Amino acid sequence: MSTPQPVRHVGSPELPAADPLPDPVTPTSPMSGGGVPFQPAPYPSLNSNPHSDSDPSTQYPLPQGVVPLHQEHPYLRPPTRMNSLGRLGHYEILAVLGSGGFGKVFQALDEKLQRLVALKVLHNRYDDGSHAVERFMREARAAAAIHHENVVIIHAIEEYPVPFLVMEYIQGQTLNQRMVQRGPMPVGELLHLGVQIARGMAAAHELGIIHRDIKPANILLNYATKPHAKLTDFGLARQLDDARLTGSGIVVGTPMYIAPEQAQGDDCDARGDQFSFGAVLYHMAAGIPPFSGSNTLALLLNVTTGSKRPLAEVRPELPARIVAVIERLLANTPEQRFPTSQALVAELEQILDDWTAGRLDEHSPVPPTAISPMPISAGIPLGNPQRNPFPENVLRANPDGAPRRGGFRWVGWTVAASVLAGLAGIGSQLLFRGEPEDASALGNPNESIASLPNIVPPFLNDPIRPGVEQEPPMAPQLPPVEEVVPKPPLLVHENPPPVGTPEYAKFCQVQREHYQKMRQQIERLPIEQQIQTFVREMLAANPDLPQPIDLKREDVGLVVAIPWERVVNFGPLVLVPQFHQLTLTGYGGPDRCLDFEAIRDLRLTIFETWASHVHSLDVLHTLQANHIDLASLPMDDLSWIRNCSTVRSLTLQLKPAASVTPLYDHPLQKLAFRGPPPDLRLIRGLKLNRFDLWEFRLSDDELDSLRSLEVEDLSIGGNRRIQTLNWVPKEPKLKQLAVNGTSVSDLSPLKGSSIEMLWIIDTNVRDLTPLQFMPNLRELHCKQTKIADFSPLQGTYLELVDADFVFERDAPILQKMPRLKLINYQDANDYLVPKSR
């Protein structure tokens, strides 16, 4: 479970490119502390509803079967205005931004000051004067004392009806979300953000406040051309002279970014924050954290012994001065780090100035002795997964003979074992920010993060040089496929164990391992032979499977569709080369379920299934898919999504009482709903590129919640109850709108919008005049409408029009549109020649 943050998920542009999508909401920066007070246009003024909170006539009903937010959280009063989820004091709750074991974060409207804020609310189960409340109040006091542009502002603290903080609302994303979406940062962005984070940390240290939990999830980036970083979540902070809330031997912080002295339960000063900041910088530069482990204790041992891969080896093109700063920050002993955080800021600022002026060296040489000790857990190699520049005869690291980095104080595995035992003694006292309830997180601190390798490749005598084309090695001459592929007669099971059982999972594992060995034998053959091998093995293992197998070879890879109810052994799917998309057709039923253990560890881009009953949803993260379509599967638990770090597009069917909180914890780009309509108020705080809501029986009033949804592509159609476009978001981010199959007739609400592509197919539209007031419109799709007059199009900048034209009537109009390139997907010049139609 991720730490709740006052942030909505928005993509951050790469530096130094200009931001094509400026902040569409905030007229003045919420960080400025001054200027004109924020006036959120979508929300009515205070005078629009004169009734009191207790007046039941002002409480807007939710759709049938949906549990109101104020019932789930008793401290919330019922909503008193449309587009509200409830009330907390004079704050209208607009959206759920995040949730954790410690509390929730809401987006809210401060009705007194008419500005958007973030409310961090302590779970009411902690509202008992306990240590959690004291820690919560400490965060407020610590953060409120810091007045700096790189620290989130605390506007107020309230204690009734439940303790909560009123915080500055940042429209953007966390640093962690930025890195998950885009990987390692360019040098310019790394330095730009690194300097800001260091400044915020130094501002806290000047007041004697130690953060003790600096990590990417606690760093917010606003939505701007050059993202502005802000440090937040001072829940573990304490004054240098205040040890009342830190017991002896208790480890606090996040294991992947914790300082060695902090991991051992020792007192930690500002230099402990420096170490955490160094781990964050390493993550920003390499795309992965510096330390990992198969479990928490293994990870902490790697931290305390400095077992990490040198950054200069992971990213050799990084300037040497940047590498030197990060290595100094990650020194094992505090004395080896910077004497003060201000000294660190000064060093980073000088490096940024030199980089801007072009005076920084281009790369960091890798010392020939920079071999790190073997970490506790094995894992996949780091670096570019598309190319392995190292030969196959790699060397295994010798933990006894390999030189140690960081000057740590223990020698040999005997002492290391004693360290591990000491960590085990305090393991039950580990305190994790924002995830005390997630047992899976405690067992795997590296969720969605590649662990360090247990092999160290030798250095190449002739490394690949930029700009020089390298000759690929000669491929070995392999015998025909029949001579290298082992036959699996003993692995074909006519009656596998029942799905959903450990025996079935073991059965799938045996099949998978067998065909993985077979794939290793054929992966260097021509792709045609690999496909033939897959088809042959799939049919041999599944005699009832219809022939031929539905397999298409596209530019992006192979697309396979299989009726899963006719499959006994899914193992041969491992043999599919360049796997792009898998569709499992067939719906099944309560007595015929699909167990996703059958597809564990497949590597593909798109996964779809029609199945309505499944087992093992948690397996989906092993596919590393970009898009998952479960449109036929009603679900009320979306927690499995949190593990799917690669998923950017989802198609779901939700049960009425389903919680959508996990969607806020995931950097989605596209979201589509099928089946029963969801409560749209619960998703309007999501940051998406595309939202698709097709064939739902929703009225215009029920769609009103979409007005605050920030998307680039909105598709709402297949619903004749929709008659107006008053619900369409006014955000300049909206570029594509589709309302096909609706009763919409008036396009006037779209005047002044930034829409570039418009679909109004099969609607009641007659008048195109409003399009003259849409200067960005470039594509219009309007077939099956009642449009008879296309003359308003002469005043537009359209480049493509798809419509039911009458040539004799409309050709003169189309000829007066010089920007027009395509007419009904035909070259405009060709279309306007009568004989070519």
Tell the burial category of 368 from Cβ atoms under 10 Å away from its Cβ (0-12, 13-18, 19+).
exposed
State how far the Cα of 129 lies from the Cα of 151, in Å rounded to an integer.
28
Structural contact between residues 37 and 102, judged by C-beta atoms closer than 8 angstroms: no
Each as own residue / partner, the long-range contacts of residues 633-638 (CB below 8 Å, 24 or more positions apart, any chain) are 633/609, 634/675, 634/676, 638/662, 638/663
> Has residue 745 got a pLDDT over 50?
yes
Least confident of 172-181, 620-629, 743-752, 781-790: 172-181
> Has residue 661 got a pLDDT over 50?
yes
State how far the Cα of 383 lies from the Cα of 394, in Å rounded to an integer.
16
**Residues with Cβ within 8 Å of residue 539, at least 6 apart in sequence:** 545, 547, 549
pLDDT at 131: 67
Token pair in block for residue 287: 């795309």
**Residues with Cβ within 8 Å of residue 143, at least 6 apart in sequence:** 151, 152, 154, 232, 234, 237
pLDDT at 776: 93
Split at pLDDT 50, 70, 90, the class of 231 is very high
- Bridge-based pairing of strands 103-110 and 91-99 is antiparallel
State how far the Cα of 213 lies from the Cα of 242, in Å rounded to an integer.
17
> Has residue 460 got a pLDDT over 90?
no
Beta strands per DSSP E along 80-163: 86-88, 91-99, 103-110, 115-122, 154-158
- How does DSSP classify residue 832? T
pLDDT at 769: 94
Token pair in block for residue 52: 């009191």
> Has residue 400 got a pLDDT over 80?
no
> Has residue 695 got a pLDDT over 80?
no
Angle at 631 between CA 626 and CA 634, to 5 degrees: 120
Highest mean pLDDT among 24-33, 38-47, 687-696: 687-696
State how far the Cα of 198 lies from the Cα of 195, in Å rounded to an integer.
5
Torsion over CA of 568, 573, 575 and 580, rounded to 10 degrees? 170
Cis peptide before 548 (omega within 30 of 0): yes
State how far the Cα of 201 lies from the Cα of 215, in Å rounded to an integer.
12
**Residues with Cβ within 8 Å of residue 418, at least 6 apart in sequence:** none
Token pair in block for residue 772: 């003259």
Can you tell me the mean pLDDT for 315-338?
93
Report the binding-site residues for ATP.
120
State how far the Cα of 368 lies from the Cα of 817, in Å rounded to an integer.
66
Structural contact between residues 322 and 363, judged by C-beta atoms closer than 8 angstroms: no
Domain ranges of the chain: 69-168, 172-357, 492-676, 708-836
- Bridge-based pairing of strands 172-174 and 219-222 is antiparallel
State how far the Cα of 350 lies from the Cα of 617, in Å rounded to an integer.
50
pLDDT at 560: 94
Token pair in block for residue 329: 């920050």
CATH among 3.40.50.2300, 3.20.20.80, 3.30.200.20, 2.60.120.10 for 69-168: 3.30.200.20
Least confident of 218-222, 264-268, 370-374, 730-734: 370-374
pLDDT at 506: 92
State how far the Cα of 78 lies from the Cα of 87, in Å rounded to an integer.
6
Report the binding-site residues.
120
pLDDT at 69: 54
State how far the Cα of 246 lies from the Cα of 415, in Å rounded to an integer.
27
Calculate the CA 702 to chain-centre distance.
28
Structural contact between residues 318 and 326, judged by C-beta atoms closer than 8 angstroms: no
> Has residue 10 got a pLDDT over 80?
no
- Bridge-based pairing of strands 164-168 and 154-158 is antiparallel
CA dihedral for 122, 124, 127, 130, sign (positive or negative): negative
Identify the H or E element spanning 580. Answer: strand 579-585
| Cα dist from 13 to 18, 170, 672, 686, whole Å | 8, 16, 24, 18
Token pair in block for residue 665: 């914890």
User: The domain 708-836: what is its CATH number?
Assistant: 3.80.10.10
Q: Evaluate whether 69-168 and 708-836 have a shared fold.
A: no
Angle between helices 187-206 and 270-286 (to 10 degrees): 170
Structural contact between residues 288 and 313, judged by C-beta atoms closer than 8 angstroms: no
- Bridge-based pairing of strands 670-673 and 91-99 is unpaired
State how far the Cα of 364 lies from the Cα of 325, in Å rounded to an integer.
12
- Bridge-based pairing of strands 736-738 and 670-673 is unpaired
Place of tokens 């060995």: 517
Residue type, 94: L
State how far the Cα of 84 lies from the Cα of 60, in Å rounded to an integer.
9
Structural contact between residues 809 and 830, judged by C-beta atoms closer than 8 angstroms: no
Can you tell me the mean pLDDT for 42-51?
29
- Bridge-based pairing of strands 826-827 and 455-456 is unpaired
pTM above the 0.75 mark? no
State how far the Cα of 568 lies from the Cα of 492, in Å rounded to an integer.
9
State how far the Cα of 135 lies from the Cα of 237, in Å rounded to an integer.
9
Can you tell me the mean pLDDT for 382-402?
32
Give the CATH class of 492-676: alpha beta
State how far the Cα of 120 lies from the Cα of 234, in Å rounded to an integer.
12
pLDDT at 150: 94
> Has residue 84 got a pLDDT over 80?
no
State how far the Cα of 742 lies from the Cα of 703, in Å rounded to an integer.
13
Using DSSP's 3-state secondary structure scheme, residue 736 falls into: strand
Using DSSP's 3-state secondary structure scheme, residue 619 falls into: helix
Using DSSP's 3-state secondary structure scheme, residue 66 falls into: coil
Residue type, 119: L
Give the CATH class of 172-357: mainly alpha
Residue type, 758: L
pLDDT at 53: 33
> Has residue 22 got a pLDDT over 80?
no
Split at pLDDT 50, 70, 90, the class of 183 is confident
Question: What does the mean pLDDT of the chain come to?
Answer: 74
Token pair in block for residue 190: 């790394």
State how far the Cα of 175 lies from the Cα of 664, in Å rounded to an integer.
15
